[in-house]
Structure formats: structure tokens, C-alpha cells
């Protein structure tokens, strides 16, 4: 719209003051080829405007709710888990950051040496479970983020590829989470 107005203004100036390059006949010919929209308006009362708006609202589509989606779809589950893991990590970062700042005032010991010694005192199974609870969401978020980027580029968009890709992400993230928790 702005480009059309700019062009129209330039052509009107050329028509008013022709020069060697642009003649007035050129400007008039260009103006005759431009698209114009004939619109008429009329004044209406506030009540009439409200009734027109109410009639238009009856024809508008209703926004879909989450209940219409098939919960069995792998891409739906992967997408929501991507949000859950990302929100969990950001929320955890904010909670730990606030606790770390408040620790000196509350007498907590959240410095690295205290955390390492407390974690070292835990049984091996508890350590592995705690590491898995951090490792799995991390690798899932990383792998699924790459999958989302590929889908954004239009790759692997066939239904079978979407389903297989979703299962590959779940499997790879579980295996990688277990590896990081118990072997690293």
C-alpha cells in the first residue's frame, strides 16, 4: 500500500513537472494502468455498527481447542514435551539462581564444594536416577530441537517419516540419557 502511494505521488509530480526522462504522457499512461479501488462510505449510527459487527461475528470460525487433536500423534507429543523440557530447564535455572542469591541470607550452603560433597554421599542408584532426571530432558530437548528445525525447513514431512522420526527421538534420548547418567 505504501509503495503504491509512493509510486502514485511520484507519477503525479512527473505529470505536473515533466522532464527530459519522464514526459507528462508517460505519467498519464502509467496512471491510467494503475489499480484503483472504488469505495464509498456512509455514516451509520453506533447501534447499526454494532449490529453489523454482531452479524459478522456469527460467520467467523471458532478457534480450535486442544481437544480436537489426536493425542496419539507423535509430533503432538514431541512438541509438547519440547515445551515441557525447555520450561523445566528455564524454571530450574531461575529457581536455582534465586536460591543461590538468597543462600547467604538463609544460611544455606549452595557453593560447588557443598553440592559435590552432598551428591557424593548419596547411594549409587540415587545418583544415577538424579543424573538421569537431568540428562534425559536435556538430550530430548536437544535432539527434538534439531528435529523441529528440520521440520521447519520442510524436511521429513511425510506422515510415516514424522512418526518414525518421533520414535527415533524418544529412543535416542532414552538411550543417551541412560548413558549420560550411568556411564559418564
pLDDT of amino acid 59: 82
Residue 168, all three cell numbers: 527415533
Query: One digit per residue, pLDDT tens: the chain, 184 residues?
Result: 566 677 777 767 766 776 656 665 665 666 566 666 676 778 889 999 899 989 888 887 776 666 666 666 655 678 888 999 999 999 999 999 999 999 999 999 999 999 999 999 999 999 999 999 999 999 999 999 999 999 888 888 888 888 888 889 999 999 999 999 999 8
Q: What is the pLDDT of residue 101?
A: 95
pLDDT of res. 114 = 93
pLDDT number for residue 116: 94
pLDDT of residue 23: 64
Position 67 scores a pLDDT of 66
Nearest to 140 by CA among 89, 180, 176: 176
pLDDT of residue 158: 86
Amino acid at each position: 500500500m505504501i509503495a503504491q502511494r509512493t509510486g502514485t505521488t511520484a507519477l503525479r509530480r512527473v505529470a505536473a513537472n515533466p522532464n527530459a526522462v519522464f514526459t507528462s504522457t508517460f505519467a498519464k499512461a502509467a496512471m491510467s494502468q494503475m489499480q484503483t479501488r472504488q469505495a464509498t462510505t456512509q455514516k451509520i449510527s453506533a447501534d447499526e455498527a454494532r449490529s453489523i459487527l454482531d452479524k459478522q461475528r456469527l460467520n467467523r470460525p471458532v478457534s480450535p481447542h486442544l481437544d480436537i487433536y489426536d493425542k496419539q500423534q507423535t509430533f503432538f507429543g514431541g512438541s509438547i514435551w519440547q515445551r515441557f523440557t525447555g520450561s523445566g530447564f528455564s524454571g530450574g535455572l531461575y529457581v536455582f539462581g534465586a536460591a543461590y542469591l538468597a543462600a547467604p541470607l538463609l544460611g544455606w550452603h549452595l557453593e560447588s564444594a557443598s553440592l559435590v560433597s552432598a551428591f557424593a554421599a548419596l547411594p549409587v542408584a540415587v545418583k544415577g536416577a538424579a543424573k538421569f532426571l537431568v540428562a534425559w530432558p536435556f538430550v530430548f530437548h536437544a535432539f527434538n530441537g534439531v528435529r523441529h528445525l528440520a521440520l521447519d525447513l520442510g524436511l521429513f514431512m511425510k506422515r510415516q517419516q514424522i512418526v518414525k522420526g518421533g520414535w527415533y527421538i524418544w529412543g535416542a534420548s532414552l538411550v543417551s540419557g541412560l548413558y549420560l547418567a550411568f556411564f559418564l
